[in-house]
């Protein structure tokens, strides 16, 4: 069994989509939701979906082995960032090299980097009169949005689209592609173990 931990800071719609999709294909592999925000609605979703959750502080994350210890205690093999905005510390990056993935609501390398998340991305895309946008699923490294790209999916932007309409289009791509990509990464981890 490939155990997954999801890091999230907000509402958790992607986290829920991932959990429900994996359960639907008989891969009940999300074992843990971790958050740096005690008020995040994702923690309520975890409770409703009967998934263990843990909250941690900035100090615990960056200046100790606290979070790494939680991951190792739960035998976590893959980390998924779903709306988590902090850079990952070196101790976790080293342990989960090529075992940690993130989703970004734009076609990287465009509209990525520190401070580019959520509505800010869609507002910038519309302000620049782009004709398309999309999602990028990538491995995580020590820089914001710079890890190796696993998959990109696109959608068109009409001249009349508002940032809110663009957000809806991008969310639809996230819900469609992120869970399936996670499933594919899980399968490749499983194959690695066989050799």
Residues annotated as catalytic (active site), given as ranges: 104
Angle between helices 119-127 and 163-194 (to 10 degrees): 120
Q: Pick from 118, 184, 110: which is nearest to 151 by CA?
A: 184
CA distance 67 to 20: 25
CA–CA distances in Å: residue 92 to residues 1, 71, 185, 193: 21, 9, 18, 20
> Are 72 and 34 contacting, i.e. CB atoms less than 8 angstroms apart?
no
């Amino acid at each position: 069994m490939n155990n997954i931990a999801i890091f999230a800071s907000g509402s958790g719609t992607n986290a829920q989509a991932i959990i429900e999709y994996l359960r639907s294909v008989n891969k009940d592999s999300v074992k843990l939701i971790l958050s740096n925000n005690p008020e995040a609605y994702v923690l309520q979703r975890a409770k409703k979906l009967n998934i263990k959750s843990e909250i941690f502080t900035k100090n615990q994350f960056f200046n100790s082995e606290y979070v790494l210890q939680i991951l190792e205690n739960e035998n976590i093999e893959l980390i998924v960032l779903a709306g988590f905005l902090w850079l990952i510390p070196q101790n976790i990056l080293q342990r989960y090299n090529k075992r940690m993935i993130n989703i970004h609501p734009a076609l990287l390398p465009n509209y990525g980097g520190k401070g580019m998340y959520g509505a800010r991305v869609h507002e910038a895309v519309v302000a620049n009169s782009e004709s398309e946008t999309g999602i990028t699923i990538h491995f995580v490294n020590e820089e914001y949005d710079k890890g190796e790209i696993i998959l990109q999916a696109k959608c068109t932007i009409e001249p009349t689209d508002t940032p809110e309409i663009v957000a809806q289009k991008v969310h639809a791509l996230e819900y469609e592609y992120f869970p399936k990509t996670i499933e594919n990464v899980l399968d490749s981890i499983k194959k690695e173990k066989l050799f």
